Amino acid sequence: MTDQLAPKKRRQTRIGLVAGGLAAYWPQFPDLLPQLQESSRYVTARFNELDAEVVDVGFVSDAQEATTAAERLRVADCDLIVIFLTTYLTSSMVLPIAQRAKTPVLVIDLQPTEAMDHANFDTGKWLAYCGQCPVPEVANVFRRAGIPFRSVSGHLKQESAWTRIDQWVHAAGVRGVLRTARHGLMGHLYPGMLDVSTDLTLVSTQFGSHVEVLEFDDLRVRVAEVTDAQVRERMDLARELFTLDASVDDDDFFWGAKVSVGLDRLVDDFELDSAAYYHRGLEGEQHERLGAGMILGSSLLTARGIPFVGEYELRTSLAMLAGHTIGAGGSFTEIQALNFFDGVVEMGHDGPAHLAVSSAQPLLRGLGVYHGKRGYGVSVEFDVKQGPVTTFGIGQDRDGSFSFITSEGTVVDGPLLAIGNTTSRVDFGGDPGEWVDEWSQTGVGHHWALCVGHRAGDIRAAASLLGIEHRHVDMTELPRWR
């Protein structure tokens, strides 16, 4: 669907890269430095293949050169700094980089091949395999300096090691997006839904994001300016993307398309990366009609990587943005029911959906009643594609701290409701009632993002870079997260 829905363009993830070894070795073993520099060039090439901006400050051999590299990386304002230990080096060469840049650091040590050729190796050739030697030293110094330590050890062309490195790059993307994002919050809290309430200041202090407080009138004036020609164009796009059910009322479809164009203008004018909204409304007044007409436009924005969610769920809009950043979709979700015959949790929502997680062309269904909310209009319905999925929510604890919360399961085939919801049957590998109990113990809240694929590792890494807790519910290892 990306041909019809232009994805939002954001700053690329920025990765700082520096390699190093010990200068004392170079005159002792003349062939060593060229070999290590060749390995460094290979690592740089692999990073340049990623969807990221790479700031490569080269190879350092002593503490003075490391200090210069640290200053260059500080100025670059990276989302993650990767330090490649090509051989032994002293921790005094690594610590300044982490201290001055004030950016999360990943240490990698990738020896040239799977193992040494012992019969033909001398000391110089061995030292090319000695990148693991300083890892405990660096870890100890980081701990004493109060700096989180992360590492990937392996060999240069080991794809499993590069998969782990890629995971940290994905995590850096989440950190980069959240620390620069602008989140819209429009309307008011759903009455009585205390878990949804979020301290806006903490979003800025813990993630670095900006929260823009919006009025429904900001949307009203933009919708009023939408022309009939623009509405018809949006309706044509919707017909390409959706199957229209016979229940869709033409006037409701027209209104949903008009609100959709207005939402696009709102997002552009306020430069939003995500948004959450709710308005209770009264007797069909204009704000009620706006709130009831937002599902189509919100789903189209979400598909473009701009999550726009209902029920004032700011934290879930952030989770959906993070899920989209790692390429996992992320659709607005809550528990619908449990099926104890099949051992599945049925989940979905009647609000904005991420079209990328749909198993087939999504459906527009007309609803005369939005359960628990006033108004009527068109809603998005589809079955989530079968296969591995991850539930991903953001919790907030008593002290105000946020946490990333995940669980991995599998969407399986079976009967689903046809009520204008995104729906799925998720098997978490255990009793569905026990899963609900364990999931609720994490402090996750009412809603979360349903992401495609098993992505808890990426989300755990992102939590590490953001300095918050990660909690994971695994029905095979209870109570792992506690």
> Could you tell me if 136 and 217 lie in one domain?
no
Are 134 and 232 in a shared domain?
Answer: no
Domain final residue, candidates 178, 205, 229 = 178
Query: How far apart, in whole angstroms, are the C-alpha atoms of residue 353 and residue 410?
Result: 19
> Tokens in use for 14?
């920025």
CATH number at residue 52: 3.40.50.10940
Tell me the sheet residues that pair with 425. Answer: 346
Q: Do 81 and 122 belong together in one domain?
A: yes
Percent share of the chain, pLDDT over 70: 98
Does residue 273 share a domain with residue 421? yes
Determine the Cα–Cα distance for residues 207 and 195; give it in Å rounded to an integer. Answer: 19
146 and 185 together in one domain:
no
Q: Could you give phi then psi for residue 348, rounded to 5 degrees?
A: 170, -160
Q: How many separate domains does the chain show?
A: 2
CA distances from 258 to 229, 264, 265, 384 (A): 10, 10, 11, 27
Quick: pLDDT tens for 340-362. 999 999 999 876 788 888 988 99
Q: Are residues 161 and 267 in the same domain?
A: no
- Same structural domain, 351 and 331: yes
pLDDT tens column, 6-55: 888 899 999 999 999 999 999 999 999 999 999 999 999 999 999 899 99
7 in a structural domain: no
| Mode of pairing for the β-strands spanning 422-427 and 80-85 | unpaired
Instruction: Identify whether the C-beta of residue 418 lies closer than 8 Å to the C-beta of residue 452.
Output: no
Domain span holding position 303: 181-473
Structural domain includes residue 217: yes
Residue 289: what pLDDT? 92
Q: What is the pLDDT of residue 364?
A: 93
Residues 146 and 192 in one domain: no
How far is Cα 240 from Cα 252, in angstroms, rounded to an integer? Answer: 18
Per-residue pLDDT at 480 exceeds 70: no
Range of lowest pLDDT (207-211, 270-274, 287-291, 342-346): 287-291
In whole numbers, what is the pLDDT of the chain averaged over residues? Answer: 94
In the structure, what pLDDT confidence band is assigned to residue 376 with cuts at 50, 70 and 90?
confident
Q: Which of 158, 178, 198 is the last residue of a domain?
A: 178
In CATH, what number is assigned to the domain containing residue 310? 3.20.14
pTM across the whole model: 0.93
Confidence of residue 369 (pLDDT cuts 50, 70, 90): confident
Confidence of residue 97 (pLDDT cuts 50, 70, 90): very high
100 shares its domain with 222: no
Q: Is residue 479 part of a domain?
A: no
Query: What integer is the mean pLDDT of 96-109?
Result: 95
Among 178, 213, 237, identify where a domain stops. Answer: 178
Residue 408 — φ and ψ, nearest 5°?
-110, 135
Q: Given a cut of 80, is residue 481 above it in pLDDT?
A: no
The pLDDT score that the predictor gives to residue 346 is: 96
423: phi then psi, degrees, rounded to nearest 5: -135, 155
- Give the dihedral sign, CA 197/203/206/207: positive
323 shares its domain with 462: yes
pLDDT tens-digit readout, 82-92: 999 999 999 99
Phi, psi (deg, nearest 5) at residue 310: -90, 180
| 133 vs 101, residue with greater confidence | 133
